[in-house]
Amino acid sequence: MSMDEECSPTERQARQLYKLCDPENRGFLTREDLARLCEVLPFTEEQLDAVFTSLDQDGDEHLTYEEFLDGLGKLYWFFIDKQCPYLGSKPLTLDSGEEEPSRADSRDESEWEDSFKQSFQQLGESGLVNDIESIREVWKKLRNESPALLGEFEKLLTSLAKELTHSKTEYEGLEAALKKRINEHEEEVRHLYEEMETQIKQERERLLLQEKQKEREIRDSLEGRIKEKDKLLNEILRQQEEVGEHFDLLSTICTK
């Protein structure tokens, strides 16, 4: 009996999906490998990256088949069976061999719809999941065909929502911190610019005051020199006048 024959239908489908991500049969998946699922699942690369982080419990950036299977759970393969064109369309069966009921219970459609909205509607409203209708269809199919896996599905989406919410909160926190830093930088630049303007103004006023002081000193010096020259000129004129008077006196005496 082959390994695939020994596995349950769920595990066989899980193995098929794992092979899609690991075509080289390396025995482990990287983030880039898991991102290939965005081609067959209604998730973005960022959302699959968050799933990888959640499953990579040991933080070695590798997912073994066991980590892949144990982390995602059986329900996820049913979801993939719904969305992935590479997997079989045969509905999953329970590993215990119990017959699956055709409906989860006797609640009517409106009650189930209310239950879905209470559980998952916030995923679409918050923008964490773009294709909420695909999740709704998978949820309805599980409700009708595999109710025992419904709880697993809800746990999976809840875990995914927490991871995405955490990533979104972290991104918003970083964005807010960056915006704050930019504002602080702009404020610092504005303050430095104002300080530079103040220094330039002060330096201009200082130089102007220096020039005025220098002009005043030059003017005072010139005025002092002019006063000295005026004083010297007056002294010369006085002496000249005395000499003239003395000359006139001598001329008078000589004439007599």
Give residue-wise pLDDT tens across range 128-176. 556 667 777 777 777 777 777 777 777 777 777 777 778 888 999 999 9
Q: What is the pLDDT of residue 129?
A: 58
Q: What is the pLDDT of residue 158?
A: 74
Q: What is the pLDDT of residue 100?
A: 41
Q: What is the pLDDT of residue 220?
A: 92
Distances (CA, A) of 162 to 19, 122, 123: 28, 12, 10
Per CATH, the architecture of 9-81 is what? Orthogonal Bundle (1.10)
pTM check: above 0.75? no
C-alpha atoms less than 13 angstroms from C-alpha of 222 in its C-beta half-sphere? 6
Q: Kindly give, in sequence order, each residue whose CB lies less than 8 Å from that of residue 9, ignoring residues fewer than 6 positions away.
A: 90, 92, 93
End-to-end CA distance of the chain: 172
State how far the Cα of 166 lies from the Cα of 172, in Å rounded to an integer: 10
Q: What is the pLDDT of residue 58?
A: 82
Q: What is the pLDDT of residue 173?
A: 93
Q: Taken in order 71, 137, 78, 94, is the CA torsion positive or negative?
A: positive
Q: What is the pLDDT of residue 117?
A: 67
Instruction: For the chain, 256 residues long, give each residue's pLDDT as a single digit of tens.
Output: 444 555 555 566 667 777 888 888 888 888 888 887 777 666 678 877 887 887 788 888 988 888 877 765 544 544 444 444 444 444 333 333 333 444 444 445 666 667 666 656 555 555 555 666 777 777 777 777 777 777 777 777 777 777 777 888 899 999 999 999 999 999 999 999 999 999 999 999 999 999 999 999 999 999 999 999 999 999 999 998 888 888 888 878 877 6
Q: Which residues of 202-211 are buried (b: 16+ CB within 10 A; e: fewer)?
A: eeeeeeeeee
Q: What is the pLDDT of residue 49?
A: 81
Residue count of the chain: 256
Alpha-carbon 120 to chain mean position = 27
